[in-house]
Structure 1
Amino acid sequence: MAHHFPIRVYYEDTDMAGIVYYANYLRYIERARSDWVRETGIDQNAMRDDGLVFAVRRVEADYIAPAKFDDVLQVETTVAQVTAARLVLKQAVKRGDQPLFQAVVTIVCVADNGAPARLPANIRQLLH
C-alpha cells in the first residue's frame, strides 16, 4: 500500500531559474519516509533506546522533470523489499499524475557502536 505525503514548493527550495534545486528532492523523500515510518507504527525513539537507528545505505535517483515554485507535490512511498538486514523503498515525487523524481532507497539498521544490525523482528513483521 502506498503512503502519500504532500509537499508545497517554497521559494527557498528553488534555484535561480525558479526550479527545485536537485538536492531538495532528497529532503522531500526523507520527510515522507519519516512520516511513513511513524504511520507504520515504528517507534524510532524506542529503537534508539534499544541501541538501534535507521540509516540510508543507498539511494538510486532519477530526475525526470522539474518542479517549480508554488507547485503542490505528492511523495509516494511503497515497500519494495524487506529482508532480515535491509528495507528497500520506492519513492516518487509527483505533480498530479506526472512523475518528477523517482528513487529506490535502501535502509539498514545500525547499532549505537556503528556496527550493522538486523532489522528487529517486530519491525519486519509490521512491514510484511
Structure 2
Amino acid sequence: MQTDSAQAPIPLCPVHEHTQRLSYADTDPAGILYYATWFPRMEALQTEWLLLNGFRQDTLLERFGWWTVSRATHCDYLQAARLFDEITVELRVGEVGNCSVRLDFQMWRHNDHALVATASNWLVTVSPEQKAIRLPENFRTFLESRAA
C-alpha cells in the first residue's frame, strides 16, 4: 500500500479503471492538461462503476428511496499531463463512514508509469428531501466488500 500524510492508505487493486488519450479539448494553450479536466473523468468512472454494480444513479431514488450527492472533492496535481498522453484513471473505495464513502482516484501516465494526480470524492447518501441518511445496508455491504 502507498501512504501519504494527507490521505489514508490506498489499496493496490482498483475496483474500476479507464484509459484514455488526452485530447486538445483537455489542455490549455500550452498543451498541458487543464486542472479541472480530472473531475469529469473521475465522475464518469464513478458513475460507470456504480451502474455496472446495480447502483444506477438516475434510478436510485425510485428503486431504493435514496440517492447520492458529492459533498467534497479534492485533487493533488503531482506532474503535468500533456496533449496525447495516454492516462489511466483508477478508482478505489476508501473510508466507508456512517452516511458517506470516500472514493479515491489515481491518474497514471502510460509512457513512463508516472502518477500524475491523486484525488478523492466524498459521496453522501441522502433522502428524497436531500437530508443525509445512514448508508443503506445494501450499499454499505457493497462498499465495504470493496474497501481497503
**How many Å apart are 1:62 and its aligned residue?**
0.4
Is residue 31 from structure 1 mapped to residue 44 from structure 2 by the alignment? yes
Aligned to 1:76: 90
Aligned to 2:75: 61
Tell me if the contact between 1:87 and 1:108 (Cα under 8 Å) persists in the aligned partners: yes
Q: Which runs of no fewer than 5 residues in structure 1 stay unpaired?
A: none
**How many Å apart are 1:39 and its aligned residue?**
2.7
Is residue 88 from structure 1 mapped to residue 98 from structure 2 by the alignment? no
Aligned to 1:15: 28
Q: Bigger relative contact order, structure 1 or 2, given CA contacts below 8 A and separation 6+?
A: 1
RMSD: 1.6
Question: Aligned pairs, how many?
Answer: 128
Aligned to 2:119: 103
Q: Which runs of no fewer than 5 residues in structure 2 stay unpaired?
A: 1-12
Aligned to 1:121: 137
The DSSP-based 3-state class of the residue aligned with 1:116 is coil
The DSSP-based 3-state class of the residue aligned with 2:35 is coil
**How many Å apart are 1:51 and its aligned residue?**
3.8
Q: Percent identity?
A: 29
Runs in 1 of length 4+ with deviation above 6 angstroms?
A: none
